[in-house]
Amino acid sequence: MGECGGGGEYRCWEELLPDALGLVFRNLPLREVLTVVPRVCKSWSRVVAGPYCWQEIDIEEWRQQQGKPEQLVRMVEMLVARSCGSCRRISVSGLPGDPLFSFIGDHARALRTLEIPRSEISDAAVESVAPRLPNVTFLDISSCTKIGARALEAFGKNCKSLVGLRRVMHPTDVAGKACQREEARAIACTMPRLRHLEMGYMVIATDAVLDILARCRDLRFLDLRGCWAVDDKFLQERHPGLRVLGPGVDDCFENSYLEECSDYSDDSSIYSWELMEDDDDDYYAVGSDDEAIWDDGQGLENLEVRFYGGGFSESYAGFDWPPSP
């Protein structure tokens, strides 16, 4: 670290305020934050173990590199607990069940952005957890196939400041499914402040969209890719100031999804590494140099992940949409 003499030749990084160190560490990959930074010194280890690095928890990249639900549960629980209730954003796909979603509701009540696409959560769980998330302004529940109008209504009634919703489905999610008009109705009746709405591939018709537009008067952007029963020209005539994407799809999302959008690898050893256990000591021992914390022997050359990305930020002035997958 160097000595901090009067000449100021070296900077005393270990003496920086924890908040400042946390801002620096957030720019590092998750692997390095959890396995490299704590080895440097005790003060850095304390920063990683505290809430300073975890006001925004984005582990989507790590999530795509491993496929064990138990690892995901341990990681989310550890990082949310370390945030000490100060977490403002969580981005992770594929929550394996209601208990982890409930854990987030109990320990991350300051959340403003919640991105949990392809999660196995239920209507009943959402009705129970939503009242604990009153500050959420952007919500991504794309391809959460076990929830419907009840969950959307619960989010709308409890998240009063919600201005962005992403409810994008995949064609295989809605194959053979009846009209999702009730979901559209729940959005229209409970989310009047929406400015950004993505409803790709939902089974809805023009009248359902008109109902939303009649009640969500602040809406500026609407993604209707794959909503084949919607007359987009009629919408544009009725609402010339609204930016509409779709229903035509100018990409290979439908044709290549099954080949290119697998969340899980057949090889469970890809980037598999043991999470550190919280310790009562100030300094966290993370094992010897010989410990296989991270399996670098497996590459990701053959793994390509495509999904609707482009998370929401309060600094977004134009509510621009993500690029086509």
What is the full DSSP assignment across 55-81?
Answer: SEEE-HHHHHT---HHHHHHHHHHHHH
Range name among 41-55, 155-169, 198-212, 296-310 with the lowest pLDDT average: 296-310
Amino acid 105: pLDDT = 96
Q: How many residues does the chain have?
A: 325
Give the β-pairing of 89-91 and 113-115.
parallel
Average pLDDT over residues 77-106: 95
Average pLDDT over residues 165-190: 93
More confident residue, 159 or 178: 159
Average per-residue pLDDT in the chain?
79
d(CA 214, CA 218): 10
Q: Which residues of 178-206 are buried (b: 16+ CB within 10 A; e: fewer)?
A: eebbebbbbbbbbbbbbbbbbbbbbbbbb
Amino acid 259: pLDDT = 43
More confident residue, 215 or 304: 215
- Global confidence as pTM: 0.74
Amino acid 18: pLDDT = 82
**Residue 174 in this model has a pLDDT that exceeds 50:** yes
Query: CA torsion sign, 314 to 318 to 319 to 323?
Result: negative
**Residue 292 in this model has a pLDDT that exceeds 80:** no
Amino acid 123: pLDDT = 98
Average pLDDT over residues 68-86: 93
Amino acid 108: pLDDT = 93
Nearest CA among 318, 121, 209 for reference residue 140: 121
What number of other Cβ atoms are within 10 A of residue 114's Cβ?
25
More confident residue, 35 or 310: 35
Banded model confidence at residue 10, pLDDT cuts 50, 70, 90: low
Nearest CA among 78, 70, 67, 69 for reference residue 30: 78
Amino acid 147: pLDDT = 97
Banded model confidence at residue 78, pLDDT cuts 50, 70, 90: very high
Domain residue ranges in the chain: 12-53, 56-161, 163-168+178-183+194-249
Banded model confidence at residue 146, pLDDT cuts 50, 70, 90: very high
High-pLDDT (> 90) share of the chain, %: 51
d(CA 147, CA 238): 31
* Tens digit of each residue's pLDDT (9 = 90 or more) over 266-289: 433 323 333 444 444 443 333 333
Q: What is the DSSP string of 132-191?
A: G-TT--EEE-TT-TT--HHHHHHHHHH-TT--EEE----HHHHTTPPP-HHHHHHHHHH-
Cis peptide before 323 (omega within 30 of 0): no
Average pLDDT over residues 210-222: 96
The amino acid at residue 43 is S
CB-based burial label for 248 (10 Å; 0-12, 13-18, 19+): exposed
Average pLDDT over residues 96-116: 96
Nearest CA among 261, 268, 296, 257 for reference residue 67: 268
